[in-house]
Structure 1
Amino acid sequence: GKKLGFTIDSGRFHNISLGQGQEMVAEEALKKAARHGHWVLLQNIHLAAKWLGTLEKLLEQYSEDSHPDFRVFISAEPAPTPEEHIIPQGILENSIKITSEPPAGMLANLHAALYSFDQDTLELCTREGEFKSIFFSLCFFHACVAGRLKFGPQGWNGRYPFSARDLAVCVTLLCNYLETHTKVPWEDLRYLFGEIMYGGHITDAWDRRLCCTYLQEFISPPVLEGELTLAPGFLAPPNLDYAGYHKYIDKTLPSESPVLYGLHPSAEMGYLTAMSDNLFKTLLEIQPQMNSFVGEGSGQSAEEKVKNVLDSILEMLPEEFNTAEIMQRTTAWSPYTLVCLQECERMNLLLSDIRRSLKQLDLGLKASDFFGELMFSPHMDVLQSALFYDAVPDTWTKLAYPSTHSLAPWVTDLLMQYGELEIWTQDLVLPAVVWLSGLFNPQSFLTAVMQSTAHKNNWPLDKVCLTVDVTKKTKEDYGHPPREGAYICGLYLEGARWDIQLGTTAEARLKELTPAMPVIFVRAIPVDRRETSNVYECPVYKTKSRGPTYVWTFNLKSQEKPAKGVLAGVALLLAV
């Protein structure tokens, strides 16, 4: 556009970022551009979903009898799910579509970060040595946070739009602060970069901790002394020119590995496994479904397969708990008793919905055999599709606990969970070891541990916290619960492993993605007695999806500095 004379200064280029009532401005710009042959760039049209119908009509109107030089450019973020595809089909069909893929790998990301600048940028600041050193560390930080997104939840809990613009603003801030301060204001720079510029995108508290930890490692005094190791085998470069930095990267940067981002090498296995699962899931979903045969020579149609799965689940499904009868088994109402009853009620709701929906589907399948066509409601059609693909139906998922399992292991887990509750309801006494992963609401149980201890010792509940001691035993080694607190099991450690002999976290072994934890003793203590040294604040999540499945924070003993666990994405999971 600049070569052809379409610039903002000439008045022939209109750049409009949609959102916050910019629709009228965009309509005026389109009208003017169509008449005089200008170019219009509409940015972020996904933020103006209600206006897209109007835009489609305007583009159709201006496509006739408009100036031959009139052009419209549109940008939008890709929709994460098919349901969020909001751009009208008419706009898509009449457009030339271009996809901008982010760089893949540390090498490409680091070069891309530098390509946003030139030699003039390196000469902006009078304190050249300090500026260049911090500038390169900042570029490496940007490459880390951008490249880490590919590792999914172990990389970041959320998907954040980190861009070259964030980096450019940080470099400008760096130059200004160095010019106005005699000493490098490390704390100020880290706060501006981590809490405002990059942190402005971040919505998750644990992701914010990760971002700030990166900056603590990279934006620190050792970078000025040439002693900072940005990644294993990659030292911060000496004072070079612009071309020299690119050559230094090509020559000294190690080959692509999760280690460059602070992650364990096994993180790549998890990332590739997730990619493969998504690929095969997509391939399965685009296959012809109904009225097709499950396998060559099997002679089994899709309806027959669904009927077999349906009958199998109905046969295994246990009866609902009689909560009225259970409540009469005790007169001592403790927080644990309430948790047990709440879990039974949640289980009853789930079992009732499963039984009802499966019986309805069974009747629909029988009616189709009788009338020769499927007599289905939309809900039954969705249920049949889920059973066919060995997926857990959405209606069941909403009433159950978060899980990433397919249908068969999910049903197995459900039956195990029912068995645990059945034992607990016999006398409503706390089990010797509680299977935390099998609870609908594990937070309520952990809160009950605090309430029970606080009540027993007359402690204010807001002055109490949980502490954990990882034992050396398994569930079978315990015959009764502890006097205070509870024994829990069913947790897995991702990003590290537990060294039973040393009683601390340790480097994960290759190909061991989520080793199981021994039984953990959970108890409540006053906040002022909580240990804060030689511990890693480990988040506990329900599934590998992390993010919204957060449960609690357990302080695990560790001989490493906390930054290593944070960068490695170490977390406890209730289900894998």
Structure 2
Amino acid sequence: MTFPIQPISWPTVRYMIGEVQYGGRVTDDYDKRLLNTYAKVWFSDAMFTDNFEFYRGYNIPKCRTLEEYQAYIEGLPLFDSPECFGLHPNADITYSTNTTNSMLDTIVSIQPKDSGGGTGETRESNVYRLANEILEKVPEDYNPFQVKECLIKMDHLKPLHIFLKQEIDRMQKVITIVRTTLTDLKLAIDGTIVMSENLRDALDSLFDARIPSTWRKVSMTILTGANVIGVDEVFRPDNNDLTYDIPFFQISWESATLGFWFTDLLDRNAQFSSWLFQGRPISYWMTGFFNPQGFLTAMRQEVARANKYALDDVELTNEVTKLLREEVVKRPVEGVYVHGLWLDGAGWDRKLARLVEPAPKLLYTALPVVHVSAYSRSAGNKNKATTVYSCPVYKKPRRTDLNYIFPLALNSLVDPDHWILRGVALLCDVK
């Protein structure tokens, strides 16, 4: 008795590869999406055609002996181009740039610490002068009574204003730590106080134009010991139950150099001050928030309250406008405008408001102002387009769960799988 030959169940094969054999070991949702897309694009009946290629020159070898397989493998290129994996050729520039920067950082980290400048200026005098320059530009402390008074005038119970208060509190911690570190460092250089380990790290970092570790992360010992003014209040949980297995807390933000970091501090503080003293911005610079997820949650709460939606039933929606930041003249009726997002791996057609291929050697493309709002799932999303790419938004170029914020829906003329293979993402900061 013979049985008819059953066709290959490709959905089963893709599921086993993308969700079980390999996908079961992938923890990041977007990495798993990429893996499933590879399985979807490659694993089909087309694999058995004579002209099937994963990419030009990358076909399935039809060999019979071990020697033939060995000859095929030895004939493969030594270096794979980005196009082999669906990436744009610009990805090679990004890879080379990151490799070079990593090498230069290593060279800087191993240079002698006692070397002076070309003018004969010592490390200590150089850092002392730099500390004075930074101290002159450090923003003034926020007066808590003035902050409270301004928030009350704006209706301090609104979710976005509660969010603003939390952001100002965190910014004040950063300002305090920067001012305290630089002041103590000057005293240590003068010999008035002992040069501690943290101050020594700050001296070395400032000399190398790097960010002192205490400005980015605060150790648990500092929190529990309260050696830094006001740090324990912002990081200590409400129930005073400290988690001792976490060695560090992120107090500020990552940046490539000290100059970029300090410029961000001034820009972030300017947005908070303008919001506090002049009212809500027309468009928000989301890069300047410590907790952008909290900003979106507060916006969802305001939309839910205004429309009497159940918060559990509310989801985010967005529309990319054709406006630049300077062209926005008034706030939206509902939701918020956000700006400062950069496309990585794709370009943007501002006229047609959709994704396009990036220009050669143009690594990042600025996205116009985005209108982000919320809707009730039960009511439906009226702005939902037919072909959209769910684009992840990250705080920094390093795409990790810690830097992930939320997805934005971007219009596309081609299948979203194309942009998934391209690795297209939105970045709040490209430095």
For the superposition of Structure 1 and Structure 2, which TM-score range results when normalised by the shorter chain? 0.7 to 0.9
Question: What does residue range 106-505 of structure 1 map to in structure 2 within 5 Å?
Answer: 182-226=6-50, 228-231=52-55, 233-234=56-57, 236-237=59-60, 239-242=62-65, 243-244=67-68, 256-290=80-114, 292-295=115-118, 298-329=119-150, 330=153, 332=155, 333-367=157-191, 375-398=194-217, 399-427=250-278, 429-505=279-355
The Cα offsets for residues 69-94 of structure 1, whole Å up to 9 and x where unpaired, read as: xxxxxxxxxxxxxxxxxxxxxxxxxx
The Cα offsets for residues 350-371 of structure 1, whole Å up to 9 and x where unpaired, read as: 1011111111111100117xxx
Larger RCO (alpha carbons 8 Å, 6+ apart): 2
Deviation, 1:236, is 3.6
Distance 1:260 1:306, change over 3 A: same
Look up the match of 1:173: none
Asked if 2 retains the 8 angstrom alpha-carbon contact of 1:542 and 1:573, the reply is yes
Look up the match of 1:543: 396
Of Structure 1 and Structure 2, the greater helix share is in 1
Residues of 1 paired with 2:134 and 2:203: CA distance? 13
What SS class does the counterpart of residue 126 from structure 2 fall into?
Answer: helix
Residues of 2 paired with 1:318 and 1:563: CA distance? 46
Deviation, 1:227, is 5.2
Quick one: which amino acid aligns to residue 266 of structure 1?
N
Q: Which has the larger radius of gyration?
A: 1
Asked if 2 retains the 8 angstrom alpha-carbon contact of 1:504 and 1:559, the reply is yes
Quick one: which amino acid aligns to residue 210 of structure 1?
L
What SS class does the counterpart of residue 552 from structure 1 fall into?
Answer: strand
Look up the match of 1:531: 384
Deviation, 1:264, is 0.7
Asked if 1 retains the 8 angstrom alpha-carbon contact of 2:389 and 2:419, the reply is yes
Residues of 2 paired with 1:279 and 1:534: CA distance? 42
What SS class does the counterpart of residue 515 from structure 1 fall into?
Answer: strand
Residues of 2 paired with 1:340 and 1:385: CA distance? 34
Structure 1 range deviating more: 504-513 or 243-252: 243-252
Residues of 1 paired with 2:254 and 2:424: CA distance? 19
Asked if 2 retains the 8 angstrom alpha-carbon contact of 1:227 and 1:235, the reply is no
Deviation, 1:228, is 3.7
Residues of 1 paired with 2:143 and 2:45: CA distance? 65
Look up the match of 1:554: 408
Distance 1:194 1:311, change over 3 A: same
Quick one: which amino acid aligns to residue 482 of structure 1?
P
Residues of 2 paired with 1:196 and 1:273: CA distance? 35
Deviation, 1:490, is 0.8
Quick one: which amino acid aligns to residue 388 of structure 1?
F
Deviation, 1:431, is 0.7
Residues of 2 paired with 1:312 and 1:226: CA distance? 68
Residues of 1 paired with 2:133 and 2:370: CA distance? 36
The Cα offsets for residues 212-261 of structure 1, whole Å up to 9 and x where unpaired, read as: 11111111221123454412x24644744245555566678797311111
Q: Percent identity?
A: 33
Deviation, 1:465, is 1.5
Deviation, 1:443, is 0.9
What SS class does the counterpart of residue 328 from structure 1 fall into?
Answer: helix
Asked if 2 retains the 8 angstrom alpha-carbon contact of 1:294 and 1:300, the reply is yes
Residues of 1 paired with 2:128 and 2:100: CA distance? 29
The Cα offsets for residues 266-295 of structure 1, whole Å up to 9 and x where unpaired, read as: 1111111111111111111111113x2122
Residues of 2 paired with 1:424 and 1:205: CA distance? 35
Deviation, 1:394, is 1.7
Asked if 2 retains the 8 angstrom alpha-carbon contact of 1:401 and 1:441, the reply is no
What SS class does the counterpart of residue 523 from structure 1 fall into?
Answer: strand
Q: TM-score with structure 1 length normalisation?
A: 0.64
How much is the aligned-residue C-alpha RMSD, in angstroms? 2.4
Quick one: which amino acid aligns to residue 205 of structure 1?
D
Asked if 2 retains the 8 angstrom alpha-carbon contact of 1:237 and 1:245, the reply is no
Asked if 2 retains the 8 angstrom alpha-carbon contact of 1:535 and 1:562, the reply is yes
Runs of 4+ in 1 over 4 A off after TM superposition: 242-255
Residues of 2 paired with 1:509 and 1:317: CA distance? 39
Q: TM-score with structure 2 length normalisation?
A: 0.84
Asked if 2 retains the 8 angstrom alpha-carbon contact of 1:493 and 1:573, the reply is yes
